[in-house]
A and B are shown apart, each in its own frame.
Chain A
Amino acid sequence: MAIELLYFAWVREAVGRDGETVDPPADVDTVAALVDWLESRGGGYAEAFADRSRLRVAVDQEFTGFDASLADVHEVALFPPVTGG
């Protein structure tokens, strides 16, 4: 199923785009698996997604963890820890 990906801050810079639509294989069923799958593309993706401790995630515009399921998910955002305020 197609998922809209969004990238922010240095994740966006490393990947080289602010988002894309992906259709990962069926066994990519959690955010963690999605990050591994993206990392395996190499290049900027490997740079952005190698260290999960530096990443945070939102699924359908809610903050969540890497164990979150991708079932019926439309939008996944990957980004560094937030620094607003």
Chain B
Amino acid sequence: MTPDIRVHADDFDPVTEAARLESGGAGGVATFTGIVRGENGLVALELEHYPAMSERALAGIADRAAKRWTLTALTIVHRVGRLGPGARIVFVGAASKHRADAIEAMHFVIDWLKTDAPFWKREQFGDGRSQWVELRDTDVAAKDRWES
């Protein structure tokens, strides 16, 4: 099982991505799609990344998941650049023979990539303000839950 890792500015189609995960002996597919929330007058998110490292960091997280659960396929797609409200940001899909492995691996990957992949978000608001998003303690706690 070689994880499918992609980082790019272009949009992705979660239906196509999920369907692709069904082949290869899967008994179940679990997916997560992250979407830009247009709260508090937000007009765009600027997603910056460390190009030489971001795909490698995601591949490292995928490898951890593949060691911990029995997977038939795993896909991570992360967008970069300027994204408006409603735009898709990230896709994680995991496939396995049995549902628990797919669901837990998908959840693990999305929690880990919040804290362990080199991406940064800047919020831009309609009134001209902009600010870098700060790492939240709840994101660190969500990742730490998987340590054992």
Contacts and interface: CB of A to CB of B under 8 A. Distances in A.
A19 B57 CA distance: 20
A84 interface: yes
Given A6-B50, A9-B48, A9-B132, A82 B119 contact: yes
Interface in A1-54: 6, 8-10
A79 B119 CA distance: 10
B76 to A, nearest CB: 10
B120 A79 contact: yes
Given A6-B50, A9-B48, A77-B53, A82 B118 contact: yes
A8 B135 contact: no
Contacts, number: 70
Interface residues of B, number: 28
B137 to A, nearest CB: 11
Size bracket of the A interface? 10 to 19
B110 A83 contact: no
A80 B78 contact: no
Given A8-B50, A10-B132, A61-B53, A85 B119 contact: yes
Interface in A43-76: 58, 61, 63, 75
Interface string B100-121: 0000000000100111111111
Contacts of B120: 8-9, 79-80, 82-84
B99 interface: no
Interface of B: 34, 47-50, 52-53, 56-57, 78, 89-90, 110, 113-122, 132-135, 139
